[in-house]
Amino acid sequence: MAGLVLRTLLQQWRVWISLLLFLALANALLVSVGALVEVADRLPVREQRIVRNLSTPMSGMASVAVFVITSSAVSLAVQLQRRPFATWKLAGMSSVRIAGVLVSQLIVLGTVGGALGLPLALLVAPRFTSWVLQANAVTAIVDAPASTLVLLSTWALLIGILLLAGLQGVGSILRVPAVDAVLSAEVVRRRPTAFRLTLSLVMSAAVLAVAAGMVGSASGDVSSRLGLLVGLAMLLSLLIIPLIALHVSRIAALFLAAWTWIVPRRWSTAWYLARRGCAFRLDRVGVSLVPLYVAVALANSIYTVFETADSARRAAGLVPAGEHGINHSGVWTILGPTVVLAIAGTATVVVMAARERARERALLAVGGVSHRSIVGAVVVEAFMYAVTATFLGLLTAAAVSAVEAEAFGRLEAGARPVLAVAPGLAVGAGGFCVLAAALALPAALEHGRAAVDRLAR
Amino acid sequence: MSLEARDLSFGYSLHRRDPVHVLRAVSLSVAAGESLAVVGPSGSGKSTLLHCLSGLRAPTHGSVVALGTELSSLTEWGRSRFRRRSVGFVFQDYNLIPSINVRDNLALPALFAGRAAGRQAVADIAADIGLSSRLRHRPDELSGGERQRVAIGRVLLSQAELVFADEPTGALDTSSGRVVLDLLFGSLGPERTMVMVTHDLDAAARADRVLVLCDGSVHAELTSATPAALWSAIETARADSVHTSVGA
């Protein structure tokens, strides 16, 4: 069994390598956040509060981002390995044993990825902690290397997240008829599973409970109630984003079909090919969009929470006129690790599916589509993903803003809902650059290589 | 001549070992409207010959003149344009674009060539290939025979003057294969030339001329051959090849 696990990992290294690197980065960032949490205990009370206000949402967001992105990547990896898995099934291996192989693969990946991330974590964590303290006017100087406890607990958390994320993949292995997977060269259409529907229901109930809690919280003084509402609004964002991420492929497919219609087929072949390619992948795989959506939605939602809270504070006269109430370095400190993880996750899922995309490009080249048009089509595809993710991120922030405005409106009549757009646009633009590079670079490097050779791979 | 190859050779060497000669000085010509089948044992270089003739692969030596254009004189962009405008392919594994439906797969080569195929033209071709009711389906929702019919419909709609078919019936049952061959040969006319590589001797026998390829060289050329005659020619070529290599 151990030999089989290692052999298949090595054989499919193209699928796994980018996930492994993502896990290493995730471990380094999670350790850095953990070190910050640990540092807070060693600070004076006032500064301890400042750091806790930063580290608590930061650790929540980073964990949610790692979970959502890892789930997407593992789900994609299982889809990409459907043929080897199906071949084993046809050869008589039981589904449970195959699921065991996948779980073992995930444990190996989590262990190795965590180990690879350790040197990076030891390098990054102290610098990250001291940067956060300085950027947020914490004057106490604390030497903050990550402790062994943080290193080990983060490593265990990473493996746990990976295994939890792999649950869906295991389910799909048990479900898919082997003969279908062997006969069909294409990724099968995804249907909502009972697991996904149950998870959606539980998360929807949690979202509703938090929203009701926000709207109903009306005791205590204005300042402390505002603090509570901001905390609940951030929790709402952390629940609503994974909930939408569960169904983002279907929602995005509808939106994409609507807005990409603006360029008719006869005007641009590249646009047409990109449009169809995006729709197909969203329908079948759906993960290309998830990491970028998470990054944009979090940036927009968190900024929306703070901007709306700032508006409420002003209405309550808690902020002196002329003074800007938002600490931008604080907000970006909270968002930073998550945005970095999500952008890295965006590149990860693209690189994982590189081989399938290479085949499609070869098909187009055989049909006489020029190299320039093919590269153009993948850049347009990146643009379509980025615009769609940014729009959905804005919609998510609008939902958070609506609940928040209702809650703040009850608190202070003068509070107005604010929808932050610029942070999401900035993250979306960054995501586009990463996506375009990850998609266009392999296409550009194919210049001069015979398309039939690429088709035969 | 619609297609002419002179002294076509193709070889490669792996890991600094002795070079492998896939094609050895193959010369052939195909007249406009003619169909040429290439048969031979596995590994004889049939598919490589087809790839060189169609501009998908550059030969290591020799030249190909297709529709009056010397392919080696073209840049990669020029070869793409040539394929887009003048060439249609039918492959054993269909090679349809998975992300688009049958209608778009049919219309795509025409779109690439800058000739947007009208709805009616697509509907007519779909009716000809018997797939009118499957236009909205994606390739993975079709059977092998249906996918191959889409590939042929694509060639018909693109108005390609040169058709290259690589084992078009290789993955099909006898009856689906017959339908595909009827469509393929039915599409030929004075302005459409076809080169087909196949192991199916019944299919090859339908071509105007048949080349027997063995070890990268042309061993025989037959006109109006029966499957039995083709089988005999291939066996002779194989035996000659074995004698040559033993003698060497």
What pLDDT was estimated at residue A415?
65
Contacts of A186 in chain B (CB under 8 A): 98, 138-140
If asked whether residues A241 and A386 sit together in one domain, one would say: yes
Query: What is the average pLDDT across B116-135?
Result: 85
Dig out the tokens for A208 from the structure.
């509703």
d(CA B35, CA A248) in angstroms, rounded, equals 51
User: Do residue B100 and residue A280 have CB atoms under 8 angstroms apart?
Assistant: yes
What pLDDT was estimated at residue B62?
92
Contacts of B85 in chain A (CB under 8 A): 368
> Confidence class of residue B207 from pLDDT cuts 50, 70 and 90?
very high
> Confidence class of residue B65 from pLDDT cuts 50, 70 and 90?
very high
Examine residue A202 and state whether it is found in any structural domain, yes or no. no
If asked whether residues A169 and A228 sit together in one domain, one would say: no
Return the closest-CA partner of residue B71 out of B190, B145, B164: B164
The string of pLDDT tens digits covering residues B33-45 is: 999 999 998 888 9
Q: For B81, which residue in chain A has the nearest alpha carbon?
A: A368
B245 inside 8 A of chain A by CB = no
Q: For A356, which residue in chain B has the nearest alpha carbon?
A: B98
For chain B, what percent of residues have pLDDT higher than 70? 94
> Confidence class of residue B53 from pLDDT cuts 50, 70 and 90?
very high
C-alpha distances (whole Å) from B145 to each of A189, A372, B141, B171, B197 are 22, 33, 12, 8, 18
What pLDDT was estimated at residue B243?
66
- Of A452, A454, A455, which to mutate for an interface test with B (greatest number of B Cβ within 10 Å)? A452
> Confidence class of residue B197 from pLDDT cuts 50, 70 and 90?
very high
Dig out the tokens for A322 from the structure.
């002329």
Contacts of B96 in chain A (CB under 8 A): 363
If asked whether residues A110 and A174 sit together in one domain, one would say: yes
B99 inside 8 A of chain A by CB = yes
If asked whether residues A410 and A319 sit together in one domain, one would say: yes
A155 Cβ contact list (under 8 Å, min separation 6) = A27, A111, A114, A115, A118
If asked whether residues A168 and A25 sit together in one domain, one would say: yes
> Confidence class of residue B248 from pLDDT cuts 50, 70 and 90?
very low
Examine residue A327 and state whether it is found in any structural domain, yes or no. yes
If asked whether residues A323 and A444 sit together in one domain, one would say: yes
Q: Domain of residue A273: give its range.
A: 222-457
Sign for the pseudo-dihedral over CA of B54, B55, B56, B59: positive
Out of A126, A156, A185, pick the residue that ends a domain: A185
Q: Which helix (H) or strand (E) holds B122?
A: helix B119-128
Examine residue A193 and state whether it is found in any structural domain, yes or no. no
Domain count, chain A: 2
If asked whether residues A36 and A172 sit together in one domain, one would say: yes
B contact residues 9-48, partner A, Cβ 8 Å cutoff:
none
Chain B nearest CA to A267, separation (Å): 10
Contacts of B104 in chain A (CB under 8 A): 276
Tokens 């019936």 correspond to: B169
What pLDDT was estimated at residue A369?
80
For chain A, list residues with pLDDT below 50. Answer: 185
* B10, B59 contact by CB (below 8 A): yes
Superfamily covering domain B3-247: P-loop containing nucleotide triphosphate hydrolases (3.40.50.300)
Examine residue A406 and state whether it is found in any structural domain, yes or no. yes
DSSP type of residue B72:
G
If asked whether residues A314 and A178 sit together in one domain, one would say: no
C-alpha distances (whole Å) from B199 to each of A29, A56, A89, A241, B167 are 58, 68, 32, 56, 7
What pLDDT was estimated at residue A205?
93
User: Do residue A368 and residue B113 have CB atoms under 8 angstroms apart?
Assistant: yes
Examine residue A204 and state whether it is found in any structural domain, yes or no. no
Among candidates A185, A448, A453 on the partner chain, residue whose Cβ is nearest the Cβ of B76: A448
